[in-house]
Amino acid sequence: MSRLNDLISKEETLWMQKSRVNWIAKWDCCTKFFYLTSMARRRRNLLSYVKDDDGQWLEGHEAIGEALTRKFRMLFTSQNSD
């Protein structure tokens, strides 16, 4: 029985090592795939243009940031005049 357990353990080790070798061999391909996927998602989520309350299109990181800051301040500022 001990011999059988020893052989099973060796077989498990062999398969674990083979899977690790396969993973390392494919690692570069996967890294490139995940990098390209994340870059595509970043481009898709990027705001290039925003229309402000006056109907004008704003572009550029700073102009869009200022417009969004103004909008959210206006939305979340209390308008109660007791």
Answering whether pTM is above 0.75, one says no
pLDDT, residue 24, reads 61
Judge contact between 26 and 34, C-beta under 8 A. no
The pLDDT assigned to 44 comes to 85
| Per-residue CA distances from 61 to 45, 47, 51, 79, 82 (Å) | 13, 8, 13, 29, 38
Least confident of 27-31, 34-38, 59-63: 27-31
% pLDDT > 70, the chain:
83
